[in-house]
A and B are shown apart, each in its own frame.
Chain A
Amino acid sequence: MAKDVLDIKAESAVMDTDKMWIIMGPQHPFSHGLWTLKIQVDGEIVKDAEPIVGYLHRGWEKEAEARSYPKIIPMADRLCYAASMTYTHLFCMTVEKALDIDVPEKAKYIRIVADEICRIQSHLMWLAAVGTDLGNFTVFLWCMREREFFMDLNVRLCGARMTTNYPRIGGVRNDTTELFDRDVMRCVERFEKVLMDDIVTLIDDSSVFVSRMKGVGYLTREQTVNLGITGPAMRGAGVDFDIRRDDPYDNYDKIDFDVPVMTQGDSYSRYQVRIEEMLQSCKIIRQAVQKVKALGKNAPYRLKVPSNVPAGRSTVRLEDPRGESLMYLISDGTDKPYRLKVRSPIFTNVSAAKPLVQGCRIADVPVVMAMIDMCLGETDR
């Protein structure tokens, strides 16, 4: 009898179980947007993964070649609906660099405020998505509630909630509206309190949330660098780099803030980096609003720029909520770009799907992939 048992045991050690490809397809609830993650599973353990993107390809870059520069700004909004402000900002900065003009101080600070509002908003959206990926709808709705206040700030600032169309080549669309600084201060104050008291308590004081995120989706520092991952996903793995601090644009160098870096490299550390980034954004907003106020009401905020851009090339990168986004512009002296290339952080980050989910369980796949914060508009362009 005992011999039989041993035999079965020995056999099971070499037993070759069939692996199964599961296609978490474009309409799967975990893929926030249209993309596919093919995973190969052995039982519940993921052995291999392959992301497929491109379902949302709209020919953005080609379309931009047929438009004059100001008309590309509303299109840049649509690159990523959660981070519309940063992409328009990036496009405007690229053209400004090609035109070689210096934007007024006030516009720079207003852009910082707008960018950080956008960052908080985008991170809140990500946190909401993490909540649903983990099966908790409360986090989703609380985050959406908080996001709503920042949407309202957007409305106060420029009149639109999501596709803001706010930065312009040479400045911003309009001056800050009346009482905007008061609204920002109140909103930020409230947000810091709610985030720390409610949302974070719900997540970080709950062992279920923490144990779901901790210890899954490890990436080492070397892997992160080799895969070209940027943004909070990179800072969660111990790479201390933030374009806002290390290659400052638009007066970020005159603002005092910290860049959170975690060295563990798992899902939870990426989560922590993002939450801390939101709180740092609040600090940035406070300082920038003070600076805007100090510049006075009559300071210039928008320059008149020529409609034709001289021939040349310009590259600008910026710290998107999701990572490092970059635009490369070749202009040919007319009022339309010859070529406009967008480097989207998510397109690179999603290529890390295989090392991220290898060895996880199926149940971990949503939460691991949530930590790169998919946005398909910019990925497929």
Chain B
Amino acid sequence: MVYSSILDWIHFPDVMSNMYYPFDVYNLPYDISYKLWELLGGTIAWLINLLLPGNPVSTWLICDEVVNMFALIIFMIVIFLVVFIATLISLWEERKVLGRLMDRRGTMIGMKGFLQCVADGLKTFMKENTMPKKVDKMTYMWTLSLVIGTSVLIACMIPLSQRWFVVDYSTGLLIIMALFALAPFFILVSGWGQNNKYSLIGGMRAAELMISYEVPILIMIATTALMAGSFNIGDIVNAQFNSTWYFIPQIVGFITFFFCATAESERTPFDIAEAEAELVEGWQTEYAGMKWGLIMLGDYFRGYVACAMITIMYLGGWLLPWDPLQINTYLPELTFLIKTWFVFFMMIILRGAIARVRPDQILNIGWKVFMPLSVVNLAIVLMLKIGGVY
């Protein structure tokens, strides 16, 4: 093939026609990253070709395999960036809303306070990276990386729409839940490894919190899956689009899941693992500077995941039942994010309204209130299912 103009290098072919296309269905972020690489790689290839006409690197840069490879790398960045910005927005939302309901302003620096998150992030990165002498270095660093890693992983694994996903498992909800429930193990180990009594107690509390709240959450996930007939997130959302949003039949489950998800993402009414009043900073006590900043970011990723799960399971995911503006076709991702932020808003109000619950009370509520309620919810769904309503 002879390349004469730049348009030969950058020609935007159809992604689906690529034989190495890694997905079965159309994937928007992949399309975007594919085109981005077309633009970037094509320009590089064109420039190299201008200098050294007919070299093999230029053609290599835009052959199908290589374009796919670089597109996948950009794809990861795109997926992460979108989740990252969505999380930063929820962080900003928390600061502003919490500020308003406490009769103050919240953050005020740049873009209505949004840039404060960026400033805080930069600040934690600038801080000295200290590590106490007597900690178990292996557990200290590895558990931290794993906590943050799993949090980011599940946040990225949440599909934003039918066309915005990383993997389209048939058991998507279960896998998200499994990864979601992994972090407390690392917190427990990290608490042991830090050679600090506060961290130890915090880690133990995280473990007991996880054990007691995992069960009702799983029961409720199973209930939703039973109602939709599938564990696949897309199927669940479509099933809700075809009938009603599931929070109407499953109102008990919705409320219970809301609290359980708040507890599972360790947000304030249930953040006994890092109860700052009695356990300085809980299991994060010995982490300083950038590490602590990343833990906080990971926490907000988990909060985002919890809200996203509620959105998927009860609020109809990325689809709107009444859609005159064709949002379902053009911008389902935005619908999804707005719903997620709304659920997060409810969590913020919860944080502002009630105090931290004592560990024994949390266990009591978990086993004696939420657990029976989730079973009641399951029974209601079973009856609806048998009655043929859904």
What residues of chain A have their CB less than 8 Å away from a CB belonging to chain B?
A: 20, 22, 24, 28-30, 44, 131-142, 145, 202, 206, 208-209, 211-212, 361-367
User: Of B102, B276, B360, which is within 8 A of A361 by CB?
Assistant: B360
Are A138 and B353 in contact (CB-based, < 8 A)? yes
- Docked Cα-Cα span, A263 to B150, in Å, equals 52
What residues of chain B have their CB less than 8 Å away from a CB belonging to chain A?
A: 98, 101-104, 197-198, 201, 268-269, 271-272, 275-280, 352-361
Which of A138, A139, A363 has the most chain B CB atoms closer than 10 A to its own CB? A363
Are A362 and B278 in contact (CB-based, < 8 A)? yes
User: Of B102, B272, B356, which is within 8 A of A138 by CB?
Assistant: B102
Asked, given contacts A22-B197, A138-B101, A142-B103, whether A29 binds B280 with beta carbons under 8 Å apart, the answer is: yes
Q: Within 8 Å CB of B279, what residues of A?
A: 362
How many residue pairs, one in A and one in B, have C-beta atoms under 8 Å apart?
84
Are A135 and B275 in contact (CB-based, < 8 A)? yes
Asked, given contacts A136-B354, A138-B353, A142-B102, whether A363 binds B272 with beta carbons under 8 Å apart, the answer is: yes
- Docked Cα-Cα span, A150 to B268, in Å, equals 30
Q: Within 8 Å CB of B101, what residues of A?
A: 138
Which of B98, B271, B277 has the most chain A CB atoms closer than 10 A to its own CB? B277
Nearest CB to that of B201 among chain A residues? A362
Q: Within 8 Å CB of A202, what residues of B?
A: 353
Are A209 and B355 in contact (CB-based, < 8 A)? yes
User: Of A24, A44, A208, which is within 8 A of B354 by CB?
Assistant: A208
Distance of B148 from chain A, by nearest CB (Å):
24
Distance of A374 from chain B, by nearest CB (Å):
14
Q: Within 8 Å CB of A134, what residues of B?
A: 277, 355-356
Which of A24, A28, A138, A206 has the most chain B CB atoms closer than 10 A to its own CB? A138
Distance of B359 from chain A, by nearest CB (Å):
6
Are B268 and A135 in contact (CB-based, < 8 A)? yes
Are A135 and B271 in contact (CB-based, < 8 A)? yes
User: Of B98, B268, B358, which is within 8 A of A363 by CB?
Assistant: B358
Q: Within 8 Å CB of B352, what residues of A?
A: 136-138
Nearest CB to that of B356 among chain A residues? A135
- Docked Cα-Cα span, A24 to B279, in Å, equals 9
Asked, given contacts A20-B197, A209-B354, A362-B278, whether A135 binds B269 with beta carbons under 8 Å apart, the answer is: yes
Which of A135, A206, A211, A212 has the most chain B CB atoms closer than 10 A to its own CB? A135
Q: Within 8 Å CB of A22, what residues of B?
A: 197-198, 201
Q: Within 8 Å CB of A211, what residues of B?
A: 358, 361
Q: Within 8 Å CB of A208, what residues of B?
A: 269, 354-357
User: Of A44, A135, A142, which is within 8 A of B277 by CB?
Assistant: A135
Q: Within 8 Å CB of A132, what residues of B?
A: 277
Q: Within 8 Å CB of A206, what residues of B?
A: 353-355
- Docked Cα-Cα span, A30 to B279, in Å, equals 9
What are the nearest 7 A-B pairs in CB distance? Answer: A135-B356, A134-B355, A141-B102, A136-B355, A366-B277, A208-B354, A363-B358
Q: Within 8 Å CB of A137, what residues of B?
A: 98, 102, 352
Nearest CB to that of B362 among chain A residues? A363
Q: Within 8 Å CB of A24, what residues of B?
A: 278
User: Of A28, A136, A145, which is within 8 A of B280 by CB?
Assistant: A28
- Docked Cα-Cα span, A139 to B353, in Å, equals 9
Are A141 and B356 in contact (CB-based, < 8 A)? no
Distance of B201 from chain A, by nearest CB (Å):
7
Distance of B35 from chain A, by nearest CB (Å):
46
- Docked Cα-Cα span, A28 to B268, in Å, equals 19
Nearest CB to that of B354 among chain A residues? A208
Q: Within 8 Å CB of A139, what residues of B?
A: 355
- Docked Cα-Cα span, A30 to B277, in Å, equals 5
Q: Within 8 Å CB of A29, what residues of B?
A: 276-277, 280
- Docked Cα-Cα span, A361 to B98, in Å, equals 29
Which of B271, B357, B359 has the most chain A CB atoms closer than 10 A to its own CB? B357
- Docked Cα-Cα span, A366 to B277, in Å, equals 7
Are B278 and A44 in contact (CB-based, < 8 A)? no
User: Of A20, A136, A145, A212, which is within 8 A of B358 by CB?
Assistant: A212
What are 7 A-B residue pairs whose CB atoms fall within 8 Å in the complex?
Answer: A24-B278, A30-B277, A44-B360, A138-B352, A142-B103, A211-B361, A212-B356
Q: Within 8 Å CB of A138, what residues of B?
A: 101-102, 352-353
Nearest CB to that of A198 among chain B residues? B103
Are A364 and B355 in contact (CB-based, < 8 A)? no
Asked, given contacts A29-B277, A363-B272, whether A136 binds B197 with beta carbons under 8 Å apart, the answer is: no
- Docked Cα-Cα span, A243 to B277, in Å, equals 33
- Docked Cα-Cα span, A362 to B272, in Å, equals 11
